[in-house]
Structure 1
């Protein structure tokens, strides 16, 4: 019997040792494809400075990343969710239910959503409402909401090119898609008096009416790889691509951005909010993993450092629009104190 007890104890000790050995020695961040190139750059610099293993960064889209992040605490779940929109109340509550209690929300900068085309193709100068009219599944025509009838941009509005409506953009799991729906599709629809009245009377009905993207081939969900969209529109005459500003800046010799309401997407117009499709970028951090995952706090500190996200920092050179100095200081303080966020309002 003593031998049996000893054998069981030995097996138990080996199991504990195996679990300890299996514990993650690498930071794990998942989420937004827009934040992905910024996060990978920070990961590279973190590894060089600390000598620690470079963090694992995955582009799953904001929604997919937050869902995985909120799956639970511990080494089987990511330490960080990268996001191109704020966490929703429903996502926050899912986190809480799964035991992910102390979440730190850190704003890292700004980005713009661009509508880009081949450098050699026609220039596009959209009014915000024309993006809704041409790309939503149901659209307004003759004062009535109808199934999308438009085949070319010239049918949508005067001054637009006589080009087939074909846009490649982010899938439903993407934070870029969420922001696109809110800023371009719902924002454009809200400019039209008939739909503005609907929104005022019943916002839920308004969203359900205007938000779905067209499903007849005029809009194509192109996955989370924004570089692939760049390559597609470069090879496809008159096609449009929807993605973050940083990809336009990196590929400015191959593609160009459309004007929206007469405003071109630039670092200045995005930071000022003058460009209509501007948004904020975030990282969400599990406070419970600080001190457990080696280097996590140092990685977060690197992300909010002057060298990375400050004015003139290396992420600005990669296309991120920096925060105002006072807000940047606040984010550094939040990262240092690891102050948990309250529940979002929406």
Structure 2
């Protein structure tokens, strides 16, 4: 509760500062002059790009206030209550569980709009013509983690070859190209592959503090085996890298390579459009947008701010989340056509969540 209180206080300070910066809007009776958007780390780039396009597209709107938090913190903050000191919109890669819907209801957040804007998938790729090794998330974590476990103790990871991770893997050097920290694709890589690969490791499960456990899962080695760069640079760098190099890329980048890059099977499933749609591929998440209809100005409820419907329309537009939309650079895989149309109707009508 103390952590949530601190988050609310910080958010209230930010929104109050933003509101006082625009006297004309306040004079018109608007309780807040801009949207407040919170997002999970994995969805941070999606939220940032949507906010930027929303600001450019709709004349006279103020740039939204944004904040990035762990997924659980996003939903806690979203459901903490209604009013100008609380956020309007949440962007996450995990559906709000029923227990959180009940928490929202208890705190007065009862008119929630839920939308799906696409699927995020991160994959491992090599150049065409190289061996397409089948990997598991556990093997990827064991190869890339800053520390390995020996006799229940954490020691620096010095493995140089994939065959040192498992005799079934080839005797080639571990070389991985990964997006910079803080990018959407890297966030998905951490959440879905690295953390997924270590969650069942006994020594990790015995760690009491959740944040410490996550650190052991997602902190990668800094001895040159993992090379960081801009996410858009990874495909070209991979094509120019020594044989056996593995790149962390989005599904859209795989398609854009024209067949020059080939995805690796992960945990027994090859990432294809079909396996991503069906969520059979483990490193896949649906990107959700949640909004408080109670905050919509000139609508029922407290009417905190204008622009919520416009933001939802932007998020579900073909220009954003359709095939070739600008969100594709974040690794977003569009929903099928009928699903995209359904989400646009939800945005336009602000249909309430019911489950």
**Which category of TM-score, normalised to the shorter sequence, fits these structures?**
0.5 to 0.7
Hey, what does 1:130 align to over in structure 2?
139
Alignment of 1:269-284 (within 5 A): 269-284=275-290
TM value normalised by structure 1: 0.61
1:226 matched residue in structure 2: 231
Is the partner of 2:289 in helix, strand or coil? strand
- Whole-angstrom CA distance in 2 between matches of 1:339 and 1:307: 24
1:144-197, CA deviations, whole angstroms, 9 ceiling, x for partnerless residues? 7763341222322334361234453564x777666545543454457xxxx57x
Q: Please report the RMSD computed on the Cα atoms of aligned residues, expressed in angstroms.
A: 5.5
Distance (Å, rounded) in 2 between the aligned partners of 1:39 and 1:109: 16
Q: 1:160-171 residue pairs with structure 2 within 5 A?
A: 160=170, 162-169=172-179, 171=181
Residue among 320, 339, 342 paired with 2:352:
339
Any stretches of 5+ residues in structure 2 without a counterpart? 1-19, 298-303
| Corresponding position of 1:287 | 293
Quickly say closer, same or farther: Cα 1:16–1:316, change in 2 above 3 A. closer
SS at match of 1:125: coil
| Equivalence map 1:140-289=2 (5 Å) | 147=155, 148-157=157-166, 158-160=168-170, 162-169=172-179, 171=181, 179-181=188-190, 183-185=192-194, 187-188=196-197, 198=202, 208=213, 212-217=217-222, 226-227=231-232, 237=242, 240-250=246-256, 256-261=262-267, 263-289=269-295
Three-state SS of the structure 2 residue aligned to 1:259 is coil
Report the 3-state secondary structure (helix = DSSP H, G, I; strand = E; otherwise coil) of the residue aligned with 1:275.
coil
Structure 2 length as normaliser, TM-score?
Answer: 0.60
Q: Alpha-carbon deviations, 1:6-41, whole Å to 9, x = none?
A: xxxxxxxx9995671696655564545657468747
Change beyond 3 A, Cα 1:288–1:275: same
- Partner of 2:116, secondary structure, is strand
CA offset at residue 300 of structure 1?
0.9
Q: Deviations over 1:77-100 (max 9, x none)?
A: 764333233468999999999997
Task: Give distance in 1, aligned partners of 2:123 and 2:327.
Answer: 17
Secondary structure of the 1:280 match is: strand
Whether the aligned pair in 2 keeps the contact of 1:263 and 1:275 (CA below 8 Å) is yes
**1:84-120 CA distance string (max 9 Å, x none):** 3346899999999999776544222212111245x48
Superposed CA offset, 1:251-274 (max 9, x none):
567755333246443322211233
2:16 aligned partner? none
Q: Indicate the larger mover: 255-264 or 18-27.
A: 18-27
CA contact (8 A) 1:138 1:212 kept: no
Residue 331 (structure 1) shift: 4.4
Q: Distance in 1 between matches of 2:82 and 2:258?
A: 41
